[in-house]
Amino acid sequence: MAKKLFPEAMARLYARMFVCKVCKSKIRADPAKVRLGKVKCRKCKSKALRLKRKPAV
Ligand SMILES: [Zn+2]
Per-residue pLDDT of the chain (57 residues; tens, 9 = 90+): 555 678 898 888 999 999 999 999 999 999 999 999 999 999 999 999 999 998 877
Q: Rounded to the nearest whole angstrom, what is the distance from the C-alpha of residue 4 to the centroid of ligand 1?
A: 31
Lateral strand order in the sheet of 17-20? 26-28, 17-20, 49-51
Q: Rounded to the nearest whole angstrom, what is the distance from the C-alpha of residue 15 to the centroid of ligand 1?
A: 19
Pairing of strands 49-51, 26-28: unpaired
Q: Rounded to the nearest whole angstrom, what is the distance from the C-alpha of residue 29 to the centroid of ligand 1?
A: 14
Identify the pLDDT of residue 39: 97
Identify the pLDDT of residue 32: 96
Q: Report the predicted TM-score, pTM, of the whole model to 2 decimal places.
A: 0.82
DSSP state of 4: S
